[in-house]
Amino acid sequence: MRFKIVTSKAMSSSKERLTKSNFFRDHSSYFVPLIGFFVASILVYFAGPQRIYATVLKADYKLLILAALVANLPLIIYGLVWKKVLSFIEVDLDLKTNYQVLLSNTFVNNLTPFGNIGGEVAATYYLSKLTDKSTGEIFSAVFLASLINFTPIISISLIGLLFLGYWEVSLITTFFVLVALIYMENIIAKLPYFGLNSKIEKFISDFKSSKSLFAGKKKVLMSLLAVTHFSIVFNILSVLLLVQAYGSEILLFDLMIILPLARAANYAPTPGGSGSYEVALTGLLVILGGIGFSTAVSVALAYRIVTYYLGLLFGYISFTSLHITQKSHIK
């Protein structure tokens, strides 16, 4: 009898912990906007609520709407890259599912601290359930698509540094980037298994062997790299339009450095760089862009609303829909 009482208490305690864990897991996406709202409130406080109000009041709303539309054009490009790269491993998704996976990837990234690394894992998981491909094959394609979409951030920042006269920094950075790309394959190929189980070994083996699927597609890959550069151009244009909407001016080449540097704030220990990105973008617009603090705060918050938080909303819808689709597919 005593044994039953102890077991009951243990089970009750375990159930309570599980309930709390499930509550945090199911409601974690709600905490992200709260972090952003808290940081935004601090920025508005230091900039002066009246100044922010005056800045927003005199804004050109046509330019604000145009900036919001331009800021989300990269999603179209990212989706096309994903669809094309997945076709290399003979995964042919319909347009709806393709963008559901992409937005779900973005959603999980927006909830992941330290560089948004969770989205690719989530996309690999769902694609492995929706197709007959191995996780290693799928991850190689997902990783390649993400790498292609990320490359313009580096190249555009290097061009910006070059045009602003920082050619030494540009050349040194270019050298290290090229060395990393050249030896990346050799580094991955020589990664030890460290006694991992057979499933992990199979995953790594599939990942390495799947590189042959991309062989002979250099022209296509180069075309995709060229197209993805429009994504960062759209991002830069959207911020430029926001600055102009609030009655200020900024050099285009300054933004070519500011946005990639602000992107580094995503590696902060907050979900999707929430809060840290707003602070970084505001500071860079003031220091490098030379615009007023209240205008910089208004631009940073508006840009994050139309990209990050709007993406969080649509990503959540896509993630939920994809989860339901995956469950029905298994049944």
How far is Cα of residue 174 from the mean position of the Cα atoms in its chain? 23
* Structural domains counted in the chain: 1
Burial 190-223 (b: 16+ CB within 10 A, else e): eeeeeeeeeeeeebbebbeebeeebeeeeeeeee
Q: Is the pLDDT of residue 11 over 60?
A: no
Which strand (E) or helix (H) includes residue 4? helix 2-47
Residue 4 lies in a domain: no
Mean pLDDT in residue range 175-200:
51
Instruction: Calculate what percentage of the chain has a pLDDT beyond 90.
Output: 16
Tokens of 189: 């190929």
Residue 9 lies in a domain: no
Mean pLDDT in residue range 226-231:
88
In tens, the pLDDT along 29-75 reads 556 667 767 777 888 888 888 888 888 888 899 999 999 999 999 99
DSSP 275: T
Q: Is the pLDDT of residue 173 over 60?
A: no
Residue 60 lies in a domain: yes
What pLDDT does 36 receive?
67
Residue 193 lies in a domain: yes
Instruction: Calculate what percentage of the chain has a pLDDT beyond 70.
Output: 68
Would you place residue 161 in the very low, low, confident or very high pLDDT band (cuts 50, 70, 90)? low
Tokens of 262: 């602000």
Residue 295 lies in a domain: yes
9: exposed, middle or buried (Cβ count in 10 Å: 0-12, 13-18, 19+): exposed
Range of weakest confidence among 6-20, 83-97, 206-220: 6-20
Q: Is the pLDDT of residue 205 over 50?
A: yes
Tokens of 299: 């631009």
Q: Round the average pLDDT of the chain to a whole number and report it.
A: 75
Mean pLDDT in residue range 314-324:
82
Residue 200 lies in a domain: yes
Mean pLDDT in residue range 285-311:
91
Range of weakest confidence among 13-17, 49-53, 89-93: 13-17
CA distance 306 to 29: 17
DSSP 133: S
CB atoms within 10 A of CB 170: 18
Q: Choose between 27 and 228: higher pLDDT.
A: 228
For the whole model, what pTM was predicted? Answer: 0.74
What pLDDT does 52 receive?
86
Q: Choose between 249 and 106: higher pLDDT.
A: 249
Mean pLDDT in residue range 13-39:
53
In tens, the pLDDT along 107-156 reads 888 787 765 567 778 888 888 888 888 777 788 888 888 878 877 877 77
Instruction: Give the DSSP per-residue string, 158-210.
Output: HHHHHHTT-HHHHHHHHHHHHHHHHHHHHHHHT---TT--HHHHHHHHHHHHG
Residue entry with tokens 């076709």: 87
How many distinct helices (H) and strands (E) make up the chain?
Answer: 15, 0
Would you place residue 16 in the very low, low, confident or very high pLDDT band (cuts 50, 70, 90)? very low
Q: Is the pLDDT of residue 244 over 50?
A: yes
Residue span of the structural domain in which 70 resides? 31-330
Residue 305 lies in a domain: yes
Amino acid symbol at 286: V
Q: Choose between 142 and 181: higher pLDDT.
A: 142
